[in-house]
Amino acid sequence: MSTERQLVTQLLRQWNDGNKQALDELMPVVYQQLHKLAARCMRAERPDHTLRATALVNEAYLKLVDADMAWQDRVHFFAVSARLLRNILVDHAKANKRQKRGGGAEKVTFDDAILIGPETHSGILEVDEALKRLAEHDERKSQIVELLFFGGLTYDEAAAALQISPATVHRELKMAKAWLHRELDETSA
């Protein structure tokens, strides 16, 4: 395990134990990674999106600080962060949709290595709904997509978070991609 990964896990455990200074030390260490995740999520949004990566990170940070959570390790922290980033983007899209009375769906382009395919364009709300439907059929496949796309975790990290093998992550991601591709094609038709 790298020194940075060990440091993050150590600081999370100290924060769990009530050491508020550990949080002050933790944030500069994880901020860059959180910003990369947010920037990655924002690259998938339309160019004129009103939310920026820094604002997304700041909002996620506030929610993470307020979370009453027993942090296990770095992977757990970024898995929770992935869910927060997704929820923030979905909430933002819902608010915009309400303001525009149903207009202007946000576009998300997923790279084939991440999710469905380079030619797939679906709004974040449609993707979120599709992930919820996938979770009804297979929660783990939905979690894998969330961890890899929104959380930016590697196959190994996602496998560790879900306590499965990287090969299982790879196999289930393929099935999840196919399911989501079909589901999004049907809802856009």
Structure confidence at residue 149 (pLDDT):
80
pLDDT per residue of the chain (189 residues) written in tens, 0 to 9: 578 888 999 999 999 898 889 988 998 888 888 888 887 777 666 666 677 888 888 888 888 888 888 888 888 888 888 888 888 888 887 777 665 544 444 444 444 334 433 333 447 788 888 889 999 999 999 999 988 887 778 888 889 888 999 999 999 999 999 998 888 887 765
Structure confidence at residue 115 (pLDDT):
43
Structure confidence at residue 170 (pLDDT):
93
pTM over the 0.95 mark: no
61 Cβ contact partners less than 8 Å away, ≥ 6 residues apart: 27, 31, 34
Q: Could you give the maximum distance between any two Cα atoms of the chain, in Å?
A: 53
The 8-class DSSP code of residue 109 comes to E
Among 139, 154, 149, smallest CA distance to 5 is for 154
56 close to 38: Cβ distance less than 8 angstroms: yes
Residues 14, 15, 20, CA angle at the centre, nearest 5°?
115
Among 165, 156, 19, 131, smallest CA distance to 78 is for 156
Report d(CA 60, CA 94) in Å as an integer: 17
Q: Where in the chain are the domains? A: 3-188
